Amino acid sequence: MPGPFHPRLEDLPDVIPIFPLGEVLLLPGGRLPLNIFEPRYLNMILDALGSSRMIGMVLPLDNGPLGLGQDRPKVFSVGCAGRISAFSETDDGRLLITLTGVCRFGVGPELDLRRGYRRVQAEWKDFAHDLELPDGIRLDRDRLMTALKSFAARHRMQFDPQIVSALGPLNLVTSLAMLCPLSAVERQALMEADTPQERADTLVTLLEMGAFDSGGMPPGSPM
């Protein structure tokens, strides 16, 4: 059974605030730390803490820095709702929060701004299975590690092989999908993968593509 703080489908809000943030991916079961300092997003977090504690992480279509070029960038049609599972205040007026990924949602019609932040109608039905404990996934760890080592070397990404080897398959796939420096389209492909198994297969393929195309290191190269 899911944990005691895990919401049920009927508990999910009809309207959810969204946080469009490039180069950041949240997936069900993942944990995402965020440093909140912009006034509109401070308002969003404070309002969420007083209600469902849920906010929707979405990727801007252009993957640009937040707030650059346009104040309300277009976003992909699927996001992931996160529950504020921890927060603390700083002396200089920031909020440090942790979001725990709960369930993906379809980005429905956008509503008027509230206290500066964006809100949309959330469409949960197609993603209700995110709320269930997933079955185990098949993962070729040797293939994954070969791709990851070469990908990490090419992208100057550091990781601890001992930590990686200690993670179970599902947590490993979720963590790598959220941490690896991938493009917005690649991150969205991982977001929209129908099942954890499909996400695992997609991740391995993306790592191999990112490591072994022109200029990449060959399989088995040492880090």
How far apart, in whole angstroms, are the C-alpha atoms of residue 90 and residue 103? 29
Q: What is the pLDDT of residues 31-70, one digit of tens each?
A: 999 999 999 999 999 999 999 999 999 999 975 444 444 5
Q: How many residues does the chain have?
A: 223
pLDDT value for 70: 57
What value does the mean pLDDT take over residues 1-6? 67
Torsion of the alpha carbons at 101, 105, 111 and 114, rounded to the nearest 10: -10
Of the ranges 132-136, 164-168, 186-190, which one carries the lowest mean pLDDT score?
Answer: 132-136
pLDDT value for 3: 67
Of the ranges 77-91, 156-170, 191-205, which one carries the lowest mean pLDDT score?
Answer: 156-170
- Residue 135, pLDDT > 90, answer no
48 Rama sector, left if φ>0, alpha if ψ -120 to 50, beta otherwise: alpha
Torsion of the alpha carbons at 7, 1, 100 and 168, rounded to the nearest 10: -160
Q: Which residue has the higher pLDDT, 217 or 163?
A: 163
Q: What is the pLDDT of residues 91-124, one digit of tens each?
A: 999 999 999 999 999 999 999 999 999 999 999 9
Task: Supply the Cα-derived Rg of the chain in whole angstroms.
Answer: 18
pTM of this prediction?
0.88
Six-digit token string for 80: 């992931």
> Helix 196-212 and helix 169-179: axis angle, to 10°?
50
pLDDT value for 213: 61
Q: How many CA atoms lie within 13 A of 134 on its CB side?
A: 23
Please provide the average confidence, as pLDDT, over all residues in the chain.
Answer: 89
